[in-house]
A = this chain, B = another copy of it.
Amino acid sequence: MKELQELATESVHLATDNVRQGGGPFGAIIVRNGEIIARGVNRVTANHDPTAHAEVMAIRNACEVLDTHQLDDCILITSCEPCPMCLGAAYWARVQKVYYIATKDDASAAGFDDSFIYKELEKEPASRDIPFIRLELSEYNTPFEAWINMEGKTLY
Interfacial chain B residues near A77, Cβ < 8 Å: 135
Answer yes or no: A36 CB below 8 A from chain B CBs. Answer: no
> How many chain-A residues does the 8 Å CB contact rule pick out?
92
Interfacial chain B residues near A27, Cβ < 8 Å: 143
With both chains docked as a complex, state the minimum distance between the C-beta of A86 and any C-beta of chain B, in angstroms: 7
A120 and chain B: residue at smallest CB distance = B91
How many copies of this chain does one complex carry?
Answer: 2
Q: Is the CB of B92 within 8 A of A130?
A: no
Q: Is the CB of B134 within 8 A of A103?
A: yes
Q: Is the CB of A50 within 8 A of B59?
A: yes
Interfacial chain B residues near A142, Cβ < 8 Å: 12, 15-16
Enumerate A8-50 residues with CB–CB distance to B below 8 Å.
Answer: 8-9, 12, 15-16, 18-20, 22, 24-27, 44-45, 47-50
A12-B143, A82-B132 given; name 19 further pairs at CB < 8 Å: A15-B143, A16-B142, A19-B150, A22-B154, A45-B69, A51-B89, A80-B143, A83-B92, A84-B84, A84-B87, A84-B91, A85-B91, A86-B88, A91-B113, A100-B133, A102-B140, A103-B134, A111-B148, A111-B155
Closest 8 pairs between A and B when the two form their complex, measured CB to CB: A85-B88, A15-B143, A25-B143, A110-B144, A25-B147, A50-B92, A84-B88, A45-B154
